[in-house]
Amino acid sequence: MSNWAIAIHGGAGHWLRRNNAAGLIQARAGLRRALAAAATILAADGAALNAAIAAVRVLEDDPWFNSGIGAALTEAGTVEHDAGIMRGNDGAFGAVAGVRCLRSPIEAARRVLEDGRHVLLIGEGAEVFARAAGCDYADPALFITDQARADLQRWRKNQDPTVSKGTVGAVVRDNAGHLIAATSTGGLTGKRSGRVGDSPIPGGGTWADSRCAISSTGDGEIFLRTCFAHRVANAIATGVSSHSALNQGLAGIAKFNAMGGAILVPANGSPIWAVVNGDLARGVQIAGTAAKVAIGADEEFAD
């Protein structure tokens, strides 16, 4: 019996304020491509790990989202990626941070997870490991887009928070019941070189266990300070419903006047999502149903 499910996000932010109608159409098309990449694997009884990677890689390659091509720029005008992936059945976690020349940050995180020796590798050491493990190299200039340059210029003028586009992520349950959470990001526009956000930190922005898989996006420092994803998972472990746990977690984010959202796939049932103080580019699909996507905070899912 097919019981697979997937949710993806393309970042929390001021999507409706930042983008015109044509841009929003492009973003929704990217979300659909990511869902299709994962659903093809899951419908063929494939593994949640492979499906999550496939979805995130599509988003990394799409300049509308903040990871890979189109990633946010540091204050020096460079790209530094973070990515993390967690396997629910055994708690394995793999992550990279501050990488500049890896074609797919989430694929590098996967190699760290599968190697098993460490949880998080950073900078040049992460790049050397990932390339030895078979990950593709890319000229760092590949990731820098005109829009990212424009966003940095706006940030330099007045540190405009609306330039933020969040991050990308996927949470997946396969037919075997395995849960995976994967998150990849370019971080914050104008960040200091060497800044690491919540995406590659277990329990910050990314978490998976036997009950749920969570990927988060938004003001990463606040997600780190509140141990957001782990707090949500702990609430579920005590019997709180997934909806209530996610909303309680985001209420903690809102107390800091911060913005953010998250997606969650439970061990049983349909994916859920929530967001505070912004929009959330998102998509969901479960076995036997059509893919659905939305962007605005109050927008209904559309086939």
Just list the catalytic residues.
167
Q: What would the DSSP string read from start to end of the chain?
A: ----EEEEEEEEE-HHHH--HHHHHHHHHHHHHHHHHHHHHHHTT--HHHHHHHHHHHHHT-TTSSSSTTPPPBTTS---EEEEEEETTT--EEEEEEE-SBS-HHHHHHHHHHH-S-SEEEHHHHHHHHHHTTPPB--GGGG--HHHHHHHHHHHHH--GGG----EEEEEE-TT--EEEEEEE---TTBPTT---STTSBTTTEEE-SSEEEEEEE-HHHHHHTTHHHHHHHHHHTT--HHHHHHHHHHHHHTTT--EEEEEEESSS--EEEEESSEEEEEEEETTS--EEE-STTPPPB-
